């Protein structure tokens, strides 16, 4: 059984980690938008020239699977 002090410590950990997860998720979402924008611009200017497709370029240069590209 957790005593009162132990329960308060656990609740603080839960709150701190929950907040951290929320912040990290917001950063990931913002970076995903930035990445998608950059990929779109790169595709629009034909930056993948020399490859069969933008998807192939992403596979070689960014390690993306064909399905992800």
**pLDDT digits 0-9 by tens, 3-54:** 888 899 999 999 999 999 999 999 999 999 999 999 999 999 999 999 999 9
| pLDDT tens sequence across 51-66 | 999 999 999 999 999 8
Q: Which two structure tokens, joined as six digits, stand for 13?
A: 């950990």
Report pTM.
0.75
| 12-19: long-range contacts, CB 8 A cutoff, minimum separation 24 | none
Nearest to 58 by CA among 46, 45, 69: 69
Q: Quote the pLDDT of residue 15.
A: 98
């Amino acid at each position: 059984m957790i005593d009162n002090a132990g329960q308060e410590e656990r609740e603080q950990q839960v709150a701190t980690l929950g907040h951290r997860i929320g912040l990290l998720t917001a950063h990931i979402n913002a970076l995903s938008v930035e990445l998608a924008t950059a990929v779109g611009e790169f595709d629009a200017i034909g930056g993948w020239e020399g490859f069969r497709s933008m998807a192939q370029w992403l596979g070689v240069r960014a390690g993306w699977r064909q399905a992800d590209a």
